[in-house]
A and B are shown apart, each in its own frame.
Chain A
Amino acid sequence: MMEWETVIGLEIHAQLATRSKIFSGSSTAYGAAPNAQANLVDLGYPGVLPVLNEAAVRMAVKFGLAINAEIAPRSVFARKNYFYPDLPKGYQISQYELPVVGKGWLDITLEDGTVKRIGITRAHLEEDAGKSLHEGVAGATAIDLNRAGTPLVEIVSEPDMRSAREAVAYMKKVHTLVRYLGICDGNMQEGSFRCDANVSVRRKGSEAFGTRAEIKNLNSFRFVEKAINYEVARQIDLLEGGGKVVQETRLYDPDKGETRSMRSKEEANDYRYFPDPDLLPLEIDAAFLDSVRATLPELPDAKAARFTAQYGLSEYDAGVLVASRELADYYEDLVARLGGEAKLAANWVNGDLAAFLNKNNLEITDSRVSSAQLAGLVARIADNTISGKIAKDVFEAMWTSGRDADAIIEEKGLRQITDTGAIERAIDAVMVANPGQLADYRAGKDKLFGFFVGQVMKATQGKANPAQLNELLKKKLAAP
Chain B
Amino acid sequence: MSDVPLHRRTLAELAAGLARRDFSSVELTRHLLARLEAAQPHLNAMVSITAESALAAAAQADGVTAAGKAGPLTGLPIVHKDIFCTAGVRTTCGSRMLENFVSPYDATVVARLKAAGTVMLGKSNMDEFAMGSSNETSYFGPVRNPWDKALVPGGSSGGSAAVVAARLAPAATATDTGGSIRQPAALTGITGLKPTYGRVSRYGMIAFASSLDQAGVIAASAEDCALLLTAMAGFDPRDSTSVDAPVPDYAAALAAPARGLRIGIVREFFDKGLDADNEREVRAALAVYESLGATIEEVSLPNVGLSVPTYYVVAPAECSSNLARFDGVRFGYRCEQPKDLLDLYQRSRGEGFGAEVKRRIMTGTYVLSAGYYDAYYLKAQRVRQLISADFARAFERVDMLMGPTTPTPAFALGAKTADPVTMYLNDIYTIGANLAGLPAVSIPCGFVRGLPVGLQIVGPHFAEAKLLAAAHALQRETDWHRRVPAEFA
Which of A48, A52, A91, A279: most chain B CB closer than 10 A?
A48
Q: Is B488 part of the contact surface with A, judged by Cβ < 8 Å?
A: no
Closest to B104 in A: A40
A44-B204 Cα distance, complex, nearest whole Å: 11
Which of A46, A49, A50: most chain B CB closer than 10 A?
A46
Contact A83 B345 (CB under 8 A): yes
The number of chain B residues touching the other chain, given as a range, is 35 or more
Contacting residues, chain B, for A52 (C-beta < 8 A): 240
Given contacts A272-B368, A274-B321, contact A47 B237 (CB under 8 A): no
Can you list 28 pairs linking A and B with CB atoms under 8 Å apart? A40-B104, A44-B330, A45-B325, A46-B91, A46-B98, A46-B103, A46-B207, A46-B326, A46-B331, A46-B332, A47-B107, A47-B203, A47-B204, A49-B239, A51-B237, A51-B238, A51-B240, A79-B321, A83-B327, A85-B341, A90-B321, A90-B323, A270-B369, A272-B320, A272-B321, A272-B368, A274-B368, A278-B240
Given contacts A51-B240, A52-B240, A79-B321, contact A88 B330 (CB under 8 A): yes
Contact A50 B240 (CB under 8 A): yes
Contacting residues, chain B, for A141 (C-beta < 8 A): 341
Chain B 338-377, CB-CB to A under 8 Å as 1, else 0, gives 0001000100000000000000000001001110010001
- Which one, B205, B321, B368, contacts A47 given CB within 8 A? B205
Nearest-neighbour CB distance to chain A for B246, whole angstroms, equals 20
Contact A278 B210 (CB under 8 A): yes
Contact B207 A274 (CB under 8 A): no
Q: Is B93 part of the contact surface with A, judged by Cβ < 8 Å?
A: yes
Chain B binding surface SS class: loop
Chain A 28-50, CB-CB to B under 8 Å as 1, else 0, gives 00000000000010011111111
Given contacts A49-B239, A272-B368, A278-B241, contact A81 B321 (CB under 8 A): yes
Contacting residues, chain A, for B327 (C-beta < 8 A): 83, 85, 90
Q: Which of A94-153 contact B (CB under 8 A)?
A: 141, 143
Contacting residues, chain B, for A49 (C-beta < 8 A): 202-203, 238-241
Contacting residues, chain B, for A44 (C-beta < 8 A): 325, 330
Contacting residues, chain B, for A47 (C-beta < 8 A): 84-85, 91, 103, 105, 107, 203-207
A388-B240 Cα distance, complex, nearest whole Å: 64
Contact A279 B240 (CB under 8 A): yes
A91-B93 Cα distance, complex, nearest whole Å: 21
Given contacts A85-B329, A143-B329, contact A46 B211 (CB under 8 A): no
Interchain residue pairs A-B with the least CB separation, the first 3: A90-B324, A277-B211, A272-B368
Contacting residues, chain B, for A40 (C-beta < 8 A): 104-105
Q: Is B101 part of the contact surface with A, judged by Cβ < 8 Å?
A: yes
Contact A46 B101 (CB under 8 A): yes
Q: Is A21 part of the contact surface with B, judged by Cβ < 8 Å?
A: no
Closest to A83 in B: B345
A24-B320 Cα distance, complex, nearest whole Å: 23
Contact A272 B241 (CB under 8 A): no
Chain A binding surface SS class: loop
Contacting residues, chain B, for A212 (C-beta < 8 A): none
Contact A280 B241 (CB under 8 A): yes
A81-B319 Cα distance, complex, nearest whole Å: 12
Q: Which of A22-76 contact B (CB under 8 A)?
A: 40, 43-52
Which of B91, B204, B324, B332: most chain A CB closer than 10 A?
B324
Contacting residues, chain B, for A88 (C-beta < 8 A): 325, 329-330
Contacting residues, chain B, for A91 (C-beta < 8 A): 321, 324
Q: Is A89 part of the contact surface with B, judged by Cβ < 8 Å?
A: yes
Given contacts A47-B103, A143-B329, A279-B240, contact A83 B317 (CB under 8 A): no
Nearest-neighbour CB distance to chain A for B450, whole angstroms, equals 39
Closest to B349 in A: A83
A93-B346 Cα distance, complex, nearest whole Å: 23
A88-B329 Cα distance, complex, nearest whole Å: 8
Contact B330 A280 (CB under 8 A): no
Contacting residues, chain A, for B202 (C-beta < 8 A): 49
Contact A45 B103 (CB under 8 A): yes
A91-B327 Cα distance, complex, nearest whole Å: 12
Q: Is B318 part of the contact surface with A, judged by Cβ < 8 Å?
A: yes
Contact A81 B203 (CB under 8 A): no
Which of A52, A85, A89, A90: most chain B CB closer than 10 A?
A90
Known contacts A47-B203, A280-B240; 17 additional CB pairs below 8 A are A45-B105, A46-B325, A47-B85, A47-B105, A48-B204, A49-B238, A50-B240, A79-B321, A81-B321, A85-B327, A88-B329, A89-B325, A91-B324, A141-B341, A143-B329, A278-B210, A280-B241
